[in-house]
Structure 1
Amino acid sequence: MAAVVLLILALGGFLLLGMVRAPLWGWAAAVGLLTLLATYNCTSALAWLAWLPFVGLALLSFPALRRRFIVAPIFATVRKILPKVSDTEAQALEAGTVGFDAELFSGTPDWSKLQSIPPIELSAEERAFLDGPTEELCRMISDWQVRHSLREIPEEIWVFVKKHGFLGMLISKEHGGLGFSAQAQSLILGKIASRSPDVVTIVMVPNSLGPGELIEKYGTDEQKHYYLPRLAKGEEVPCFSLTGPTSGSDAATMRDIGHVTRGTHEGKETLGIRLSWEKRYITLGPNATLVGLAFRLFDKDNLLGKGEDVGITLALIPADHPGVNIGRRHLPSGAAFPNGPNWGNDVFIPIDWVIGGQAMAGNGWRMLMECLSAGRAISLPSSATAGAKMMLRVTSAYGRIRKQFGLPVSRMEGVEEPLVRIIETAYVNEAARAMTAAMVSRGEKPSVISALMKYQTTEKMRRAVNDAMDIHGGRGICDGPSNYLQSAYQMVPVGITVEGANILTRTLITFAQGALRSHPFLYKEVQAAQDADRQRGLDAFETAFNGHIAFSLSNATGAFVHNITGGALVSSPDDALGMSHWYRQLARASRSYAFVADLTVALLGGGLKIKQKITGRMADALAELYMLSATLKRYQDDGRPAGDELIVELAAQNGLWRFQEAIGGVIDNFPVRWARPLMRIVVFPLGRRFKPASDVLGHQVARHVLQPGEVRDRLTRHIFVSRDVNDPTGILEVTLEKVIAAEPIEKKLEKAIRDGLVRRYHGIDWFAEAADKGVISAAEAEQLREVEQLVARVIAVDHFDPAEVKPNYATLGHNIRGSEKVASEKAIAGFGV
């Protein structure tokens, strides 16, 4: 019995030492005490062997001994086997900042840092712009005209966005722009996106990664004074040419090159660059007057003093400059926004056209990564979030209006299930969008979070659009002026693909980069191991390594304790008010994540790049923690409104369950077999306890959005909402209210029809018949007649004369260049086209 008690006390003591990150002498003291108790009154000579662990720990408590026998050998090994971090990888890692993701990687999130992130805040000027010009722009847009009739953004839209400064939202007021915060930009882009994915694209691109932001941050004074006012007013339409036929997600392998040389420009000999390039998928390219170009620069004569391989460089080139070829149009998913190739061969430009001038030559990759870390956090998350909210707005209305089997389809459990998914997506995406935009607004450039947000919001949007299409059925798949789903459905693949394809963003960037950027010690160890000064590197490595060991023990013991106790010992914010349980579960999950992440990096090391299923699941797990953090914050920022607590509970249960499945997938498939049982013991000591939200909770949540009110409005805030009966979405809003108001009258009519008093067939005025028989009044009959007419318009689908929809295609392969044209011709011949 005494041995059992001693074992329990020892286990508890060791867990406590690990959780508080006790120094090595503390462990030595604990082991010494345990050994003393275990060998007390023991006269065997072998008992002295039990003191060896204590002696070893005691000796290693002396820094000099620990350094010589532990740290230095490990440092030498790491230094020998660690693959060198390339310049482009280093620049990507160092670009941007670390945000709340570091708290999640730490295993002990500081809730005060979460609460310190501002809620949605707009200046009076920003609010006026959102409610004024942005609202007016949305009213001007005819989605059908844009994507079908014209297959082009109408000229009046271009004129309007230029006149009101939409293209210069991120350009400072000093240089003629609006100087809006990231939060304002996000909301403005989202509102436009809820009306037209095509129109938002022409506004989004100049306000995301492109010449405007690059000039604002890195341009010379001359470039700023000349270009920024012109970009802000729309006198210049910019595009940024990065992607080429052989360099997509792996942009660092671009083959586009420039050579430093001397040439003639405007009749004068000048130092410049002779360029050859081929780019494609360039948004705004066909309409651009100013081309931003990324290329690799070489200087064999070292005219710039930076060596032969200067590196990736960015330049500004007028589209009408001799040798610049602006191609025709790509048709990405049938979209109407301008997108196309451009190329040039042996084009000479002066060195002053490098963004930032000669001094910034070779710094292009760092410039791109720093801008991307902020821009990717705003552009696509804003439009994807708005899209999810619009899917909820129209689907909740349509589901309540459309009837089958005598009841609204939204009250059928089979329809309710996807509707609840859309509700969760709309709430969670908006929570994460607002929190991320707030971080960017206060000057942060969250590189890992921006990647996470891009792939998560667009993937959730894809599911929301598919669910909306399923609920609408035939109404959703028949295109025409009244179809408000098709533009979103067609554009979903674009959001999935651009600004870093989701597959690679999820599997290569989010966790691999996040582990190095957000881990408190890992990147410091890597930097120390690669320091050219060995002694300085050893000093830095020792500090980081000692901290890393304590960190790892803390997370291992902490995760085990919190998973055994169900998070009961974790603290939550003082003002959590009803959400304490979910804060504790989030902290508990964070501990488990930190433990698995640390072990994954330690055991797989450089192999992370090829274990993309593992890193993808780790990215998913991190995303669930971040999205849940944002969800809890939104509920608090919104003032804990009645009705939303059920949505938060649903999102929390589902998010933690998805986290569990992702982290469980890592453990089940972990390449190092012996580590699997260790991970399971620490992370799942009592099994996988998280469950998805119940059907009952989903039903309760769905009821809140099936009628007009505060909950539905709050879930779909900051999107364009029309009440015009001649607008395809406006008629939904009007009809929904009238359908609900007429429900008591309709129940009387339905009963009379079931009892055989009234016949409801084509050719019979059943409303008049019901009024004649006293079932309903004449006024009620007219009310039902109006509702039926509105419902008929809501559920109607467009139809066309065959001549209207007959295709008129140009010659196949007309705009395909070079080797692509040959390949196309072979494909056409091979398939008998």
Structure 2
Amino acid sequence: MTFWTAALIVPAFALLLVQAPAWVWASGLALWIAAGRTFGLVDDSWLVVLAALWLPLALLALRPLRRRLVARPLRTLFRRVMPRMSATEQAAIDAGTIWWDAQLFGGRPDWKRLLATPAPTLTPEEQSFLEIETERLCDLASDWESTAVWQDLPPAAWAYAREKGFLGMIIPRRYSGLGFSAYAHSQVIQKLSTRCSAAAVSVMVPNSLGPAELLLHYGTDAQKDHYLPRLARGEEIPCFALTSPYAGSDAASLTDTGIVCREMWQGKETLGFRVTWNKRYITLAPIATVLGLAFRVRDPDGLLGGAADLGITCALIPRDHPGVRIGRRHWPLNAVFQNGPTSGDDVFVPIDMVIGGAGQIGNGWRMLMECLAAGRAISLPSSNVGMAKLATGSVSAYAAIRRQFNVPIGAFEGAQEPLARMAGHLYAIDAARKLAAAGLDLGEKPSVVSAIVKYHVTERARIIVNDGMDLIGGKGVCMGPGNFLARAYQQIPIAITVEGANIMTRTLIIFGQGAIRCHPYVLELMRSAEAPGATGLATFDRALFGYFGFLLRNAARALTFATPARLLLGTPRGAAPEMARYYRGATRLSTALALATDVSMATLGGTLKRRETVTGRLGDILSQLFILSAILKRFEDDGRPEADRPFVHWAARDALARADAALRAVIDNHPSRIAAAILRLLVRPFGGAVAGPDDRMDAAVAQCVQTHGPARDRLLAGSWTPRMEVDPIAATHVAFDAYPGVAAIEQRLREAIRAGRIERLPQNYRQLGAWAAAAEAQGLIDPAERVLIERFAHHADLAVQVDDFEPDFGLAEGLRRATEMPRTPLPEAAE
């Protein structure tokens, strides 16, 4: 009987793993009972028990009966338990597409599908634009000049950006734009961000969420023909006004209102809106010539023949339109890109100014959600990867040449840990940026993926810049043209805040949208629960029992993967064998995420969306799995370079450890102790934790990022090339380029130094010239080596110096010039 019982358990477990339908279970159990009776292995007492088990399975296998007796009452209960989805929530859920995120949420990621995704590439024209025009714009703008001199992008840079089409990269050629791919757009923004944040922001905003993208997708032909060529040529500067003091991250709660009315406009009675708005934080608003505006339309008199509240609508309004107030500036943490408020009171806006015309009234929220999915995946990830490359490239070079205790600071173990974090995180976020751009160029609009890269790229960029500031010390805290990192340090919080605070992105968007859109059954359950008639019931029945089967499948898989049986998971065909543990770990955690999500939904119901600590941690698991996927994909796309392995292993170990820590936090802090017990039993029956990068990995990564070679070049690829004739911050890089030769000379002369023939290299770079002359006089080095040492000494000395100014920082001279400026008389007060 024991053998026969095992013969039941093993196939049953296999049926769970393949999510077999009810009729297969009922048929299998019937065959098992019949065979047991035939061979005398099942007695009468067992037969009663087995029959009681078989009857429910038979009931579930008969769909018409199951719908009437099981699905119908459960649908009634489901309607009471689950909160109804609002129109704005529905629009957000429907926005964009699902992509690799759905594979990760499903518990069985198809790695072959990911690895088969084409790597993002540039056309020859895009590559040329990146190497010539983008490099030139970088030369024309620096963070120091923008912030300390112009409080804006320098005029020459603005003129060049307009002339060369930077503001119309996403606009098709037929409208005079560049028609670039998402990846090209991302590469341009990244490169500009390694040089000047004002340049990056001024270019990325017109090419992300703004009038151009909305016009391309929803504009009328007349609107496209009029505005798109002008936007592409830089004749119009756009901005888009969405957020307000009372609706920041909660943009769906707009209080800006347009009342439908009829008024005289350009000599004839015109249907339109009386719009009142008060917007804040609008990038490019102070210099914009055309204002994109989101407002809520109300039609109390029924002039449009619909509901009184028609919903959010987007319009395009010229700057000089009567009643528009615009031009004042905010000052976002010395970033100095143009940003400011706009407002208007009872401004008449003709209906023709609605983007897409009258047919798009009330569709603004859907339009914004769909377009934001693409823009969010490019702008902030690209700009923050660029900032991270600036920090990592410059700080690692500085750490390699800057000596303390006559040893480069990058050689100290205490410095190697933050250097490794900088390089490892940079490898990971650049991989995530590239994978997101690749998805966009495949035609996807991955709203969940865009939220993942926005949140995690900006957060890791913050870690990178903070570590960089720790490493360069006093050099980083004293402002001046020679400080390459201070402005990035000041501006990091801006990216954390833009497009919704990161707290909201983590706790609401990533999991909130992901759990519903990416789950194979939840969205269908929610929709079919409200659908009337037999068709709605049939759909609900199919989704409900699919959900149960999905949950049981993942429970069986999670328990299997918690044992050494997970070692049977192989590496995807064509993937690097040494990365097998990361593919296995990602598959195990993907299954655990799917199970934890379903158990949380089942035990917490509609209250789950308010349990933000739970949803945030579940979202963290998904996010880290996406980042890990991007890391593994990048390694394959780059041809598995041997030199990159330290970066890959560090980043992959870090992502796995972070995902595992989030899973442990979900279980340890779950509001439902029943759910916690189930998850602990199935997912973590033996406890333990996934280890992150260790000290040896830190040392290897730190050494790699401080060493000239293809690995460092690939890590920093796409950065602006500093040159002394353009900016003195290039001194660090010139010295770094010369340092290997100097280090080789020092190594060769070690015996001579020990013998006392010559002193060791002085720590003061200004003494290196005399040391080199003495070494040449003794025949220890040749003239070319002396020149190399002198070149290194000169630039290394420039690199370690700290900027200084007049005692009043030049303020007195500035005030004197201000008093000499002609004054514009103030208008007289109104009577």
**Shorter-chain TM-score: what band?**
over 0.9
**Match in the other structure for 1:788:** 793
Q: Is the 1:15–1:558 contact (alpha carbons within 8 Å) kept by the matching residues of 2?
A: no
**Match in the other structure for 2:636:** 636
Deviation at 1:264, TM superposition (A): 1.6
Which amino acid in structure 1 is aligned with residue 806 of structure 2?
A: D
Can you list the C-alpha shifts for 1:135-155, whole angstroms capped at 9, x where unaligned?
A: 111111232110112211111
In the alignment, is residue 464 of structure 1 matched against residue 464 of structure 2?
Answer: yes
CA distance in 2, matches of 1:749, 1:475: 31
Bigger mean CA offset, 638-647 vs 27-36: 27-36
Q: Is the 1:566–1:585 contact (alpha carbons within 8 Å) kept by the matching residues of 2?
A: no
Can you list the C-alpha shifts for 1:564-600, whole angstroms capped at 9, x where unaligned?
A: 1352232432101323332222222211111111222
Deviation at 1:268, TM superposition (A): 2.1
Q: Where do 5+ consecutive residues of structure 1 fail to align?
A: 811-833
In the alignment, is residue 576 of structure 1 matched against residue 580 of structure 2?
Answer: no
- CA pair 617-158 structure 1, distance change in 2 beyond 3 A: same
**Match in the other structure for 2:543:** 544
Deviation at 1:702, TM superposition (A): 2.3
Can you list the C-alpha shifts for 1:320-356, whole angstroms capped at 9, x where unaligned?
A: 1111111411111111111111100011111101111
Secondary structure of the structure 2 residue equivalent to 1:260: strand
Bigger mean CA offset, 649-658 vs 375-384: 649-658
Q: Is the 1:18–1:550 contact (alpha carbons within 8 Å) kept by the matching residues of 2?
A: yes
Which amino acid in structure 1 is aligned with residue 482 of structure 2?
A: S
Which amino acid in structure 2 is aligned with residue 556 of structure 1?
A: A
Secondary structure of the structure 2 residue equivalent to 1:317: strand
Which amino acid in structure 1 is aligned with residue 545 of structure 2?
A: N
- CA pair 647-236 structure 1, distance change in 2 beyond 3 A: same
- CA pair 599-706 structure 1, distance change in 2 beyond 3 A: same
**Match in the other structure for 1:21:** 19
**Match in the other structure for 2:229:** 229
Q: Is the 2:521–2:546 contact (alpha carbons within 8 Å) kept by the matching residues of 1?
A: yes
Which amino acid in structure 2 is aligned with residue 15 of structure 1?
A: F
Q: Is the 2:731–2:796 contact (alpha carbons within 8 Å) kept by the matching residues of 1?
A: no
- CA pair 771-176 structure 1, distance change in 2 beyond 3 A: closer
The TM-score with structure 1 as length reference comes to: 0.93
Superposition pairs for residues 455-494 of structure 1, below 5 Å? Answer: 455-494=455-494
Bigger mean CA offset, 658-667 vs 638-647: 638-647
- CA pair 385-286 structure 1, distance change in 2 beyond 3 A: same
Superposition pairs for residues 732-747 of structure 1, below 5 Å? Answer: 732-747=732-747
Q: Is the 1:25–1:57 contact (alpha carbons within 8 Å) kept by the matching residues of 2?
A: yes
Bigger mean CA offset, 84-93 vs 688-697: 688-697
- CA pair 691-710 structure 1, distance change in 2 beyond 3 A: same
- CA pair 396-740 structure 1, distance change in 2 beyond 3 A: same
Which amino acid in structure 1 is aligned with residue 13 of structure 2?
A: L
**Match in the other structure for 1:708:** 708
Q: Is the 1:749–1:770 contact (alpha carbons within 8 Å) kept by the matching residues of 2?
A: no
Can you list the C-alpha shifts for 1:737-776, whole angstroms capped at 9, x where unaligned?
A: 2111011333466776676665669898444455556665
**Match in the other structure for 2:284:** 284
Superposition pairs for residues 563-712 of structure 1, below 5 Å? Answer: 563-565=562-564, 567-578=566-577, 579-712=579-712
Bigger mean CA offset, 698-707 vs 510-519: 698-707
Bigger mean CA offset, 283-292 vs 175-184: 175-184
Bigger mean CA offset, 588-597 vs 9-18: 9-18
Deviation at 1:736, TM superposition (A): 0.9
The TM-score with structure 2 as length reference comes to: 0.93
Q: Is the 1:190–1:719 contact (alpha carbons within 8 Å) kept by the matching residues of 2?
A: yes
Deviation at 1:789, TM superposition (A): 2.1
CA distance in 1, matches of 2:80, 2:231: 50
Which amino acid in structure 2 is aligned with residue 787 of structure 1?
A: F
Can you list the C-alpha shifts for 1:714-750, whole angstroms capped at 9, x where unaligned?
A: 0111121224366244222221121110113334667
Secondary structure of the structure 2 residue equivalent to 1:209: coil
Can you list the C-alpha shifts for 1:793-827, whole angstroms capped at 9, x where unaligned?
A: 111110000222549899xxxxxxxxxxxxxxxxx
**Match in the other structure for 2:134:** 134
**Match in the other structure for 2:521:** 521
Deviation at 1:230, TM superposition (A): 0.7
Which amino acid in structure 2 is aligned with residue 22 of structure 1?
A: A
Secondary structure of the structure 1 residue equivalent to 2:693: coil
Which amino acid in structure 1 is aligned with residue 144 of structure 2?
A: W
CA distance in 1, matches of 2:238, 2:306: 29
Q: What is the root-mean-square deviation of aligned Cα atoms in Å?
A: 2.3
- CA pair 118-761 structure 1, distance change in 2 beyond 3 A: closer
Superposition pairs for residues 365-444 of structure 1, below 5 Å? Answer: 365-444=365-444
Can you list the C-alpha shifts for 1:518-563, whole angstroms capped at 9, x where unaligned?
A: 00110000011122x2433212111211221221111110121122
Q: Is the 1:746–1:784 contact (alpha carbons within 8 Å) kept by the matching residues of 2?
A: no
Percent of paired sites with the same residue: 44
Superposition pairs for residues 796-815 of structure 1, below 5 Å? Answer: 796-804=801-809, 806=811
- CA pair 428-106 structure 1, distance change in 2 beyond 3 A: same
Which amino acid in structure 2 is aligned with residue 53 of structure 1?
A: L
Which amino acid in structure 1 is aligned with residue 200 of structure 2?
A: V
CA distance in 2, matches of 1:45, 1:367: 65
Q: Is the 1:84–1:530 contact (alpha carbons within 8 Å) kept by the matching residues of 2?
A: no
Can you list the C-alpha shifts for 1:36-64, whole angstroms capped at 9, x where unaligned?
A: 89996787768624531222222332222
Q: Is the 2:479–2:486 contact (alpha carbons within 8 Å) kept by the matching residues of 1?
A: yes
Can you list the C-alpha shifts for 1:636-669, whole angstroms capped at 9, x where unaligned?
A: 1111112122322222222111110001111111
CA distance in 2, matches of 1:562, 1:95: 34
Secondary structure of the structure 2 residue equivalent to 1:156: helix
CA distance in 2, matches of 1:387, 1:6: 64
CA distance in 2, matches of 1:76, 1:586: 38
Deviation at 1:396, TM superposition (A): 1.5
CA distance in 1, matches of 2:629, 2:652: 9
CA distance in 2, matches of 1:380, 1:124: 25
- CA pair 197-6 structure 1, distance change in 2 beyond 3 A: farther
CA distance in 2, matches of 1:223, 1:426: 41
CA distance in 2, matches of 1:802, 1:176: 51
Secondary structure of the structure 2 residue equivalent to 1:206: coil
Secondary structure of the structure 2 residue equivalent to 1:708: coil
Bigger mean CA offset, 43-52 vs 198-207: 43-52
- CA pair 597-168 structure 1, distance change in 2 beyond 3 A: same
- CA pair 330-602 structure 1, distance change in 2 beyond 3 A: same
Bigger mean CA offset, 480-489 vs 106-115: 106-115
**Match in the other structure for 1:332:** 332
Secondary structure of the structure 2 residue equivalent to 1:207: coil
**Match in the other structure for 1:84:** 84
CA distance in 2, matches of 1:410, 1:725: 28
**Match in the other structure for 1:557:** 556
Which amino acid in structure 2 is aligned with residue 675 of structure 1?
A: A
Superposition pairs for residues 66-85 of structure 1, below 5 Å? Answer: 66-85=66-85
Q: Is the 1:721–1:729 contact (alpha carbons within 8 Å) kept by the matching residues of 2?
A: no
Bigger mean CA offset, 178-187 vs 73-82: 73-82
Which amino acid in structure 1 is aligned with residue 598 of structure 2?
A: D
CA distance in 2, matches of 1:469, 1:768: 36
Secondary structure of the structure 1 residue equivalent to 2:809: helix
Which amino acid in structure 1 is aligned with residue 803 of structure 2?
A: D
Which amino acid in structure 2 is aligned with residue 558 of structure 1?
A: R
Deviation at 1:405, TM superposition (A): 1.7
Can you list the C-alpha shifts for 1:8-47, whole angstroms capped at 9, x where unaligned?
A: 5544333211101112133335555777899967877686
CA distance in 2, matches of 1:443, 1:45: 61
CA distance in 1, matches of 2:565, 2:736: 44
CA distance in 2, matches of 1:646, 1:773: 42
CA distance in 1, matches of 2:32, 2:691: 40
Q: Is the 2:165–2:177 contact (alpha carbons within 8 Å) kept by the matching residues of 1?
A: yes
Deviation at 1:266, TM superposition (A): 1.9
Bigger mean CA offset, 157-166 vs 701-710: 701-710
CA distance in 2, matches of 1:624, 1:742: 42
**Match in the other structure for 2:97:** 97
- CA pair 753-452 structure 1, distance change in 2 beyond 3 A: same
Deviation at 1:71, TM superposition (A): 1.4
